[in-house]
C-alpha cells in the first residue's frame, strides 16, 4: 500500500515536471497566464477589502478572519484546476481517456494525478500567501495553522471527489461538456466559501456543507480555530467527510465502467 | 504455440442519436442502438502480425478498444494472455503497448519526444540500463536520430507516428496494438515502421495487431481479418484471401470496329464490369475458359489488343467489399 | 437567400439548442452568484446597523444584484474568447479563414444567437418581474437610457473579449485567459462591487475607463444610483464602443498577419 502511494506520488511529480516544462516553453505565454491567474485570485481580496473599508464587517468576523476564508477558497479553486477536473468531460467525450486506460494504473488515480495543470500552482500559492498573511496578522500559532491546513486538506479531498463523481454522473447521463458544473462549483461555491457560511441562512448553509461541499475546506476549519464552530460539529463533519470520500470513490469507479470511449 | 489473444463471440452495441437537419428538430431526436460488433471470434498466436481490415464503421476500432481493456463487451469473452483485459486491466496492460494513431497522441505536444520517453520510463518502471539500450536501438531502427530531441509540434506526422510507436513499445510489451498507425504517413516513414515491426517480431517474438487501410501494411501481415458491419468476413493468410478471389481475373479487350457485335460476343466469357466503345473489362474465371476462346480472341482481327491480369490485393479488397454490399442488399430483400 | 453570414448564424442557433442542458443550467447558476452577494451585503448592513452605505440603501443593493445577475447572461462574455481559443487551438480557424466571410465577425456571430435568446426569454421577463415586485421608480427616459446602456455594455464587453481573444494566437495553451475578462467584469465593471463603493479616487478613475459600462452603468441607471448626467455618460460609452471597435480592427489586422509566423 505504502509503496503504491509512493509510486503514484513519484509519477505525479514527474508528470508535474513535464507539464511545467511544457508551460514554460513559451515565456510570454507563461507571463500572461501568471498575470491572469494572479488577478483572478486577488479579486476576493479586493471585494472584502472594499466591504471592510465602508462598513463594520460581516457577522462579527474581523477582516483577517474573512481574508483567511478567501485564501483557503483560492487554494481550493487552484486545486480544482490543478487536478484538471473541468477537463474530465472532454477527456471522456473525445476518447482521450483511452490513452490512460492502457497504462497499468488505477483509472481514478490517473484521471486526477497523471495530467496536472501545473500553472494553477500560481493560484494555490497566491491562496497560500493570502492565508499566511491573515494567519500572521491574526497571531495564530503553528499548531492552529497546522490544524486548519489538515482540516482544509480533508475538506478539499471531499470536494474534489464530489466534483469528480458529479462530472462522471453527467458524463454518463448526457455525454455533454457539462461546463455548467464549473459555474456551479467555482462561481457559486467559490463565492459562498469566501464568506462565513452562516450569513446565508440555515438552508443554504446546509447546502454548502453537504450538497455542494465547499464549506468543508474553508468555513469549518477556520471557524473551528476562531472558536466559532464547536468540537462536536467538527468531529461529526470529519466523519461525514471520510464516509463521503469512500462513497464517492466507489461511485466514481463504478461510473467509469460506463465509459464508452468515443464510440457512443 | 500459445494464444496471445482469444476473442469469443463478442458483441457490443452503442447508443447513438439521430437529429434532424432543421433548426429546432433537436428537440425530437431519435435514439437508436448501433451494433458495433455482432458476434466476432478470432485468435492470435504469439509472434503473429495480424492486420484488421474493414471500412469505417466496420467495428475495427471497437475491437482495438476491447483488446486494450478500454471497453467491456456486452456479451462474449475477450482474453489476453488468458486474462480478461477489462477485469484485470492493470495486469494485462502492463504487457501491452497501444498506438492510437494520430487521434490520441501520448507525446507531450510542446516538449520534445525524449521527455515523453523519460516519462514512460517512470510510468513502467524501466531501469536505466534497459531504457538506454532500448531507446538507442529503437531510435536507430526508426531513423529518429535527428528527430527525438526536437519539439513534438514541429515534427511531421510520420516522425510523430514513429515516436508514438517508440513510446508504446519502450516497456517491451508482449503484444502491440495499433489503430491505423500509417494513415497520412509518408512512404519512407511507412517503410521504416514496417521494417521495425518485422524486426521486433523476429528478434523478440512481439505480437502485433493493427487496423489499417494501407495495402502496403497488409502485405507484411501474417494474417488478415476482415470485418464489416460488426461481423468477421474473412480470417486467413494473404494467399488464402487471394485464393478466395483467385478464380477471378480481369480480361481487358480493345476493339477497332464492330463494337456492339463484339461486345455481345465476348460478354459470354464472364461479367462485364466496364464498357466503353473500344474497350471492355470482363471478370473471367481463367480456369474455366477454354483455350479455344483465347485462340478466338487471338485470331479476331477486330481485337486490337487484349490483356489478362490477376487482381491485386487492393482490387481483391474492393471486390470483397462489393460482394458484402450485394449480400447485405439481398438479405434486406 | 444565400447570405453566408446568415448561414453561419443559423448554425449557431442550432448549436444553442444542441447544448440546451448546459445552457439552461449555466443560465440558472449565473443568476445565483449575484444573489449570493445579496446575502453578503444583507449581513454587512445588518452588522453595521446602518440604513445606507455611501448613500445606497440595502434595498437598492438587492435590486442592483438582481439586475447584475440578469445582465451577466449577456455581458459576462467568456464565450467569444472561448470561441476564438477553440478556433485557434484546434486549428479550425483555418477552415473559418477560407470561408467567404471576414473572420472578424465569426466570434460575434457565434454568440449572438444565444445572447438574443437569453435576453428575450430570461433577462426581459425577469426585469419586468423585478419592476413589478420592487415597485422601483421607472419612467420612459430611464427605460430608453437603460436599453442604450445595455447595448453599450454588450458591445464593450464583447469587443474587449475579442481583443483579449485575438492575443490567444500568441499563446500555445490558452485555457484560462477567459478568466481575465470575467475578472474585469467583476472587479472593474461592478459585477461584485458597485463602483461607487470604491474609495472616491479609484471610482472616479474607473469611470474614465470603458469597464464600468459593462455592468455598473446600465445597472446603476436602472436602480437610480446614476441619475444625473445620464446623457453625457451614455455618450462617453458610445465613444468607447467606437474606440474599442477601431482597436479590435487594428489588433486583428496585426494578429492575422502574425498568424503564419506563429504557425497556427
Q: Kindly state the cell numbers that stand for C77.
A: 462574455
Contacts of residue A259 in chain B, CB cutoff 8 Å?
A: 70-71
Q: What span, in angstroms and rounded, lies between the C-alpha atoms of B18 and A134? A: 56
Pairwise CB contact (< 8 Å): B15 & A264:
yes
Of residues B217 and C19, the one with the higher pLDDT is B217
Tell whether B156 lies on the interface with C, counting CB pairs under 8 A.
no
**Mean pLDDT for back-to-back runs of 10 residues, chain A (264 residues):** 87 90 78 80 89 89 95 94 88 82 87 87 92 95 95 96 93 78 84 92 92 94 94 96 96 87 57
The pLDDT, as a whole number, for residue A264 is 39
The pLDDT, as a whole number, for residue B9 is 92
By C-alpha distance, the chain B residue nearest C89 is B109
Q: What span, in angstroms and rounded, lies between the C-alpha atoms of A93 and A95? A: 6
Q: What does each C-alpha distance from B205 to B174, B202, B217 come to in angstroms? A: 8, 6, 19
Chain centroid, CA B291 distance in Å: 38
Question: H helices then E strands: how many in chain B?
Answer: 11, 13
CA atoms within 13 A on the CB side of A63: 15
Å between A113 CA and nearest CA of chain B: 12
Of residues A84 and C91, the one with the higher pLDDT is A84
Label the pairing between strands C56-57 and C52-53.
antiparallel
Q: What span, in angstroms and rounded, lies between the C-alpha atoms of B213 and B173? A: 24
Helix (H, G, I), strand (E, B) or coil at B95: coil
Pairwise CB contact (< 8 Å): B26 & C172:
no
Q: What span, in angstroms and rounded, lies between the C-alpha atoms of B90 and A108? A: 13
CATH 3.30.70 in chain B is located at 249-310
What's the domain range around A11?
Answer: 2-263
Among A84, A107, A85, A115, residue whose Cα is nearest residue A261: A107
Given a contact cutoff of 8 angstroms between Cβ atoms, the answer to whether C146 and C48 are in contact is no
Q: Which residues of B touch A (CB under 8 A)?
A: 14-16, 34, 36, 61-62, 65, 68-72, 89-91, 93-94, 96, 98, 100, 103-106, 108-111, 115-116, 119, 122-125, 151
Å between C30 CA and nearest CA of chain A: 7
Contacts of residue B73 in chain A, CB cutoff 8 Å?
A: none
Contacts of residue B19 in chain C, CB cutoff 8 Å?
A: 18
Contacts of residue B170 in chain A, CB cutoff 8 Å?
A: none
Among A95, A77, A93, residue whose Cα is nearest residue A85: A77
pLDDT tens series, chain B, 333 aa: 688 999 999 998 877 666 554 444 444 556 677 788 888 999 999 999 999 988 777 888 889 888 988 888 888 999 999 999 888 888 888 899 999 876 778 888 878 899 889 888 888 889 999 999 999 999 999 999 988 888 888 888 889 999 999 999 999 999 999 988 887 788 888 888 989 999 999 999 999 999 887 777 777 888 989 888 888 888 888 888 777 766 667 788 888 877 777 777 777 777 777 777 778 888 777 666 667 777 777 777 788 788 777 666 666 777 777 776 776 666 655
Handedness of CA C68, C74, C75, C80 (dihedral sign): positive
Would you place residue C261 in the very low, low, confident or very high pLDDT band (cuts 50, 70, 90)? very low
Å between B26 CA and nearest CA of chain C: 6
What would the pLDDT profile of C211-228 be if each residue is shown by its tens digit? 999 999 999 998 888 888
Q: Which among C22, C42, C198 has CB closest to A50?
A: C198
By C-alpha distance, the chain A residue nearest C188 is A43
Handedness of CA A188, A190, A191, A194 (dihedral sign): positive
- The region, left, alpha or beta by phi > 0 then psi within -120 to 50, assigned to residue A240 is alpha
Q: What span, in angstroms and rounded, lies between the C-alpha atoms of C142 and B319? A: 76
Length of chain A measured in residues: 264
Chain centroid, CA B101 distance in Å: 13
Å between C261 CA and nearest CA of chain B: 13
By C-alpha distance, the chain A residue nearest C39 is A200
According to CATH, the topology of domain B3-243 is Rossmann fold (3.40.50)
Q: Which among C25, C39, C186 has CB closest to A200?
A: C39
What would the pLDDT profile of C71-88 be if each residue is shown by its tens digit? 877 776 567 777 777 777
What would the pLDDT profile of C161-213 be if each residue is shown by its tens digit? 888 888 777 766 555 666 777 788 888 988 888 999 999 999 999 999 999 99
Tell whether B33 lies on the interface with C, counting CB pairs under 8 A.
no
Contacts of residue C176 in chain A, CB cutoff 8 Å?
A: 33, 36-37, 81, 119
Tell whether C48 lies on the interface with A, counting CB pairs under 8 A.
yes
Q: Which residue has the cell 462617453?
A: C236
CATH number of B249-310: 3.30.70
The pLDDT, as a whole number, for residue C263 is 43
Q: Which of B108, B123, B152, B174 to mutate to test the interface with A (most CBs of A within 10 A)?
A: B123
Given a contact cutoff of 8 angstroms between Cβ atoms, the answer to whether A196 and A223 are in contact is yes
Pairwise CB contact (< 8 Å): B110 & C172:
yes
Main-chain phi, psi angles of C68, to 5 degrees: -60, -45
Pairwise CB contact (< 8 Å): A36 & C176:
yes
DSSP assignment of B204-273 equals H--EEEEE---HHHHHT-SEEEEEETTEEEEEE-HHHHHHHHHT-EEEEEEESS-HHHHHHHHGGGSEEE
Å between B145 CA and nearest CA of chain C: 24
Q: What is the 3-state secondary structure (H, E, C) of B222-233?
A: CEEEEEECCEEE
Q: What span, in angstroms and rounded, lies between the C-alpha atoms of A107 and A109? A: 5
Cα dihedral B77, B82, B83, B85, rounded to 10, equals -60
Å between A93 CA and nearest CA of chain B: 12
pLDDT at C66 over 60: yes
Q: How many CB pairs under 8 A join A and B?
A: 79
Å between B20 CA and nearest CA of chain C: 11
Residues 6+ apart with CB under 8 A from C50: A55
The pLDDT, as a whole number, for residue B287 is 67
Q: Kindly state the cell numbers that stand for C68.
A: 447584475
Among C194, C159, C204, residue whose Cα is nearest residue C60: C194
DSSP assignment of C84-131 equals HHHHHHSSHHHHHHTSSS-GGGHHHHHHHHHHHHHIIIIIHHHHHHHH
CATH 3.40.50.300 in chain B is located at 3-243
Given a contact cutoff of 8 angstroms between Cβ atoms, the answer to whether C178 and C250 are in contact is no
Pairwise CB contact (< 8 Å): A179 & C22:
yes
Q: Which among C14, C172, C173 has CB closest to B23?
A: C14
Q: Which among B36, B98, B111 has CB closest to A22?
A: B111
Pairwise CB contact (< 8 Å): B62 & A257:
no
The pLDDT, as a whole number, for residue B28 is 53
Given a contact cutoff of 8 angstroms between Cβ atoms, the answer to whether A239 and A216 are in contact is no
The H or E element that residue A198 is part of is none
Pairwise CB contact (< 8 Å): A51 & C42:
no
Q: Which among C10, C20, C173 has CB closest to B23?
A: C10
Among C136, C156, C114, residue whose Cα is nearest residue C67: C136
Q: Which of C24, C47, C216 to mutate to test the interface with A (most CBs of A within 10 A)?
A: C47
Chain centroid, CA A67 distance in Å: 17
Pairwise CB contact (< 8 Å): C13 & B23:
yes
Handedness of CA B255, B257, B259, B261 (dihedral sign): negative
Pairwise CB contact (< 8 Å): A39 & C180:
yes
Q: Which among A7, A98, A264 has CB closest to B100?
A: A98
By C-alpha distance, the chain A residue nearest B117 is A18
Å between C2 CA and nearest CA of chain A: 32
Instruction: Please identify among residues 25-44 of chain C the ones whose CB lies closer than 8 Å to any CB of chain A.
Output: 25-26, 28-30, 32-33, 36-37, 39-40, 42-44
The pLDDT, as a whole number, for residue C29 is 78
Tell whether C58 lies on the interface with A, counting CB pairs under 8 A.
no
Q: Considering its fold, how many domains does chain A have in total?
A: 1
Of residues C144 and B286, the one with the higher pLDDT is C144
Would you place residue C237 in the very low, low, confident or very high pLDDT band (cuts 50, 70, 90)? very high
Amino acid at each position: 500500500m505504502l509503496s503504491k502511494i509512493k509510486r503514484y506520488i513519484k509519477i505525479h511529480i514527474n508528470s508535474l515536471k513535464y507539464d511545467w516544462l511544457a508551460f514554460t516553453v513559451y515565456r510570454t505565454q507563461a507571463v500572461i497566464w501568471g498575470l491572469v491567474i494572479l488577478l483572478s485570485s486577488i479579486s476576493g481580496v479586493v471585494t472584502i477589502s472594499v466591504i471592510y473599508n465602508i462598513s463594520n464587517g460581516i457577522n462579527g468576523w474581523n477582516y483577517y478572519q474573512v481574508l483567511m476564508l478567501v485564501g483557503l477558497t483560492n487554494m481550493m479553486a487552484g486545486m480544482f484546476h490543478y487536478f484538471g477536473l473541468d477537463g474530465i468531460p472532454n477527456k471522456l467525450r473525445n476518447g482521450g481517456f483511452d490513452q490512460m486506460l492502457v497504462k497499468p494504473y488505477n483509472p481514478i488515480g490517473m484521471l486526477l494525478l497523471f495530467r496536472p495543470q501545473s500553472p494553477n500552482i500560481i493560484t494555490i500559492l497566491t491562496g497560500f500567501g493570502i492565508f499566511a498573511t491573515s494567519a500572521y496578522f491574526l497571531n495564530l500559532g503553528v499548531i492552529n495553522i497546522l490544524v486548519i491546513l489538515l482540516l482544509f486538506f480533508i475538506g478539499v479531498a471531499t470536494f474534489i471527489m464530489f466534483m469528480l463523481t458529479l462530472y462522471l454522473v453527467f458524463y454518463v447521463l448526457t455525454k455533454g461538456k457539462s461546463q455548467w458544473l464549473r459555474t456551479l462549483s467555482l462561481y457559486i461555491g467559490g463565492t459562498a466559501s469566501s464568506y462565513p457560511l452562516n450569513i446565508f441562512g440555515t438552508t443554504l448553509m446546509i447546502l454548502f456543507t453537504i450538497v455542494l461541499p465547499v464549506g468543508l475546506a474553508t468555513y469549518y476549519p477556520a471557524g473551528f480555530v476562531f472558536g466559532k464552530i464547536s468540537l462536536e460539529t467538527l468531529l461529526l463533519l470529519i466523519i461525514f467527510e471520510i464516509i463521503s470520500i469512500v462513497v464517492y470513490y466507489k461511485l466514481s469507479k463504478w461510473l467509469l465502467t460506463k465509459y464508452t470511449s468515443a464510440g457512443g | 504455440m500459445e494464444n496471445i489473444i482469444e476473442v469469443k463471440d463478442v458483441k457490443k452495441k452503442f447508443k447513438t442519436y439521430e437529429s434532424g437537419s432543421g433548426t429546432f428538430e433537436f428537440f425530437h431526436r431519435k435514439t437508436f442502438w448501433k451494433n458495433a460488433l455482432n458476434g466476432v471470434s478470432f485468435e492470435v498466436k504469439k509472434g503473429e502480425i495480424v492486420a484488421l481490415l474493414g471500412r469505417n464503421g466496420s467495428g475495427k476500432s471497437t475491437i482495438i478498444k476491447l483488446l486494450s481493456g478500454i471497453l467491456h463487451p456486452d456479451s462474449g469473452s475477450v482474453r489476453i494472455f488468458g486474462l480478461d483485459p477489462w477485469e484485470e486491466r492493470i495486469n494485462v496492460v502492463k504487457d501491452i503497448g497501444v498506438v492510437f494513431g494520430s487521434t490520441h497522441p501520448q507525446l507531450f505536444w510542446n516538449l520534445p519526444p525524449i521527455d515523453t520517453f523519460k516519462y514512460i520510463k517512470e510510468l513502467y518502471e524501466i531501469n536505466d540500463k534497459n531504457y538506454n539500450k532500448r531507446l538507442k536501438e529503437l531510435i536507430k531502427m526508426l531513423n529518429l536520430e535527428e528527430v527525438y530531441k526536437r519539439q513534438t509540434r514541429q515534427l511531421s506526422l510520420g516522425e510523430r507516428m514513429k515516436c508514438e510507436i517508440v513510446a508504446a513499445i519502450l516497456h517491451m510489451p508482449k503484444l502491440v496494438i495499433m489503430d491505423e498507425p500509417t494513415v497520412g504517413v509518408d512512404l519512407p516513414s511507412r517503410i521504416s515502421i514496417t521494417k521495425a515491426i518485422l524486426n521486433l517480431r523476429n528478434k523478440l517474438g512481439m505480437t502485433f495487431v493493427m487496423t489499417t487501410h494501407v495495402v502496403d501494411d497488409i502485405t507484411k501481415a501474417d494474417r488478415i481479418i476482415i470485418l464489416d458491419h460488426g461481423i468477421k468476413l474473412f480470417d486467413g493468410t494473404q494467399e488464402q484471401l487471394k485464393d478466395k478471389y483467385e478464380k477471378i481475373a480481369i480480361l481487358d479487350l480493345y476493339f477497332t470496329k464492330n463494337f456492339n457485335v463484339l461486345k455481345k460476343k465476348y460478354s459470354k466469357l464472364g461479367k462485364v464490369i466496364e464498357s466503353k466503345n473500344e474497350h471492355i473489362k470482363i471478370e473471367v474465371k481463367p480456369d474455366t475458359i477454354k483455350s479455344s476462346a483465347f485462340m478466338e480472341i487471338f485470331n479476331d482481327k477486330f481485337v486490337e489488343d487484349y490483356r489478362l491480369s490477376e487482381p491485386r490485393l487492393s482490387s481483391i479488397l474492393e471486390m470483397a467489399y462489393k460482394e458484402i454490399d450485394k449480400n447485405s442488399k439481398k438479405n434486406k430483400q | 437567400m444565400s447570405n453566408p453570414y446568415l448561414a453561419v448564424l443559423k448554425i449557431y442557433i442550432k448549436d444553442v439548442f444542441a447544448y440546451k442542458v448546459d445552457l439552461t443550467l449555466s443560465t440558472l447558476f449565473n443568476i445565483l452568484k449575484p444573489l449570493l452577494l445579496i446575502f453578503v451585503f444583507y449581513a454587512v448592513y445588518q452588522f453595521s446597523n446602518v440604513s445606507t452605505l455611501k448613500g445606497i440603501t440595502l434595498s437598492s443593493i438587492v435590486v442592483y444584484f438582481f439586475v447584475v445577475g440578469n445582465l451577466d447572461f449577456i455581458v459576462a462574455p467568456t464565450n467569444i474568447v472561448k470561441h476564438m481559443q477553440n478556433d485557434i487551438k484546434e486549428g479550425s480557424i483555418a477552415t473559418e479563414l477560407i470561408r467567404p466571410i471576414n473572420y472578424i465577425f465569426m466570434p460575434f456571430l457565434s454568440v449572438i444567437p444565444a445572447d438574443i435568446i437569453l435576453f428575450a426569454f430570461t433577462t426581459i421577463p425577469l426585469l419586468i418581474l423585478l419592476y413589478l415586485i420592487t415597485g422601483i421608480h421607472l419612467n420612459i427616459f430611464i427605460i430608453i437610457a437603460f436599453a442604450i446602456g445595455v447595448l453599450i455594455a454588450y458591445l464593450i464587453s464583447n469587443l474587449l473579449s475579442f481583443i483579449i481573444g485575438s492575443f490567444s494566437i500568441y499563446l500555445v495553451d490558452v485555457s484560462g485567459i477567459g478568466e481575465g475578462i470575467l475578472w474585469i467584469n467583476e472587479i472593474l465593471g461592478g459585477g461584485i462591487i458597485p463602483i461607487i463603493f470604491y474609495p472616491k479616487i479609484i471610482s472616479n478613475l474607473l469611470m474614465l475607463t470603458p469597464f464600468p459600462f459593462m455592468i455598473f452603468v446600465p445597472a446603476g441607471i436602472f436602480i437610480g444610483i446614476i441619475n444625473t448626467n445620464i446623457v453625457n455618460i451614455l455618450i462617453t460609452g458610445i465613444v468607447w464602443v467606437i474606440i474599442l471597435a477601431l482597436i479590435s480592427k487594428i489588433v486583428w489586422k496585426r494578429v492575422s498577419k502574425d498568424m503564419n509566423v506563429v504557425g497556427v
